[in-house]
Amino acid sequence: MVDKKQIKSDTGSNRVPTGIPGFDELCGGGLLRNRTYLVSGAAGAGKTIFGLQYLYNGITKYGENGIFIATEERPEQVRENVKQFGWDFQKLEDEGKLAILDACSTKIGIPSHEKYVDVRPFDMRSMLDQIIAIQEDIDAKRAMVDGTTSIGYYLTDISKIRVELLKLSTTLEILGLTSLMTCEIIDENMASRFGVETFVTEGTIVLYYKRTDTVRVRSVEIFKMRGTNHSQNTHPYEITPNGIVVHPHEEVYTD
């Protein structure tokens, strides 16, 4: 077990702080630059909020533009949902600091009036072309792909999913992006939905939402993070009116 006191903060520019209160100190000050991480968890665990907060903080606290690739919720819903945290996404988009790629509407067969739309139901090449075009427009440093599970459903065999996700994560890295990809899990003993996603990312953050007696407790575990001395424990977190707050000095015991 790693002693939390031994996790030294690396303040060099190779770290990308999430800015999520309490989280960065669990992993040496933040994510490694130009790498791709998986955020996995059950439905409602908080994966989307975690990723949106990462992008919002990037723009507002660290001057790093962000790209949000929405495969599961329409951009309008995303903009509406984040208002409760006081995050004005429309304003950031108007300022050219944030871009949302609508990779959801076409998939469910409805028209989209978004600036950036993925026109095919699902095709990795076309999605990558869209991301490259957005990157030319806004020169982002952070990206969030929400989520990979729906990508997986379009592909039939596991080896194909692995290759496609590797293509996606490698392209994001080549574009100079430090990224999060979300993944829904059904069995909390597994860190990813198809069992392959954790092999194509530099690290995996697992969000739990478990019932204990009468209440449900939210907690976060850094399951894997290459090149980083990270906490081996599971820490509670809350979703507050300002977004996610992690309690790094408290632990939750999961069985």
Q: Phi then psi for 163, rounded to 5 degrees?
A: -65, -45
CB of 245 to ligand ATP, least distance (A): 11
- CB of residue 244 to ligand ATP, shortest distance in Å: 9
Question: Minimum CB separation from ligand ATP for residue 60, in Å?
Answer: 18
| Contacts with Mg ion, residue ranges (CB under 5 A) | 48
Phi-psi domain of 180 (left: phi exceeds 0; alpha: psi -120 through 50; beta: other): beta
Q: In angstroms, give the least distance from the CB of 33 to ligand ATP.
A: 24
- 48/65 with CB nearer Mg ion: 48
Cα–chain-centroid distance for residue 232?
Answer: 20
Residue 39 C-beta: closest distance to ligand ATP, Å: 8
Residue 203 partner contact from Mg ion, ligand ATP, none using kind-dependent CB cut-offs of 5 to 8 Å: none
CA distance linking residue 14 with residue 143, whole number of Å: 16
Which CB, 148 or 231, lies closer to ligand ATP?
148
Q: Find, among 40, 75, 77, 21, the residue nearest to 243 by Cα.
A: 21
Residue nearer to ligand ATP on the CB measure, 53 or 135: 53
Q: Which is nearer to ligand ATP, 1 or 43 (CB)?
A: 43
- 117: buried, middle or exposed (CB in 10 Å: 19+, 13-18, 0-12)? middle
58 binds, among Mg ion, ligand ATP, none (CB under 5 to 8 A by kind): none
Give the number of other Cβ atoms within 10 Å of residue 224's Cβ: 18
- Interface contacts to ligand ATP, rule CB under 6 A: 41, 43-49, 72, 84, 184, 239, 241
**Cα 125 from Cα 133, distance rounded (Å):** 12
46 binds, among ligand ATP, Mg ion, none (CB under 5 to 8 A by kind): ligand ATP
In degrees to the nearest 10, what's the CA dihedral of 230, 236, 241, 242?
-10
d(CA 210, CA 254): 9
In whole angstroms, how close is the CB of 52 to Mg ion at the nearest point? 9
Q: Which does 184 bind (CB under 5 to 8 A by kind): ligand ATP, Mg ion, none?
A: ligand ATP
C-beta closer to ligand ATP: residue 41 or 58: 41
CA 146 to CA 43: how far, in whole Å? 13
44 interface partner picked from Mg ion, ligand ATP, none, CB below 5 to 8 A per type: ligand ATP
CB-wise, 32 or 151, nearer to ligand ATP?
151
Tally of CB atoms within 10 A around 251: 14
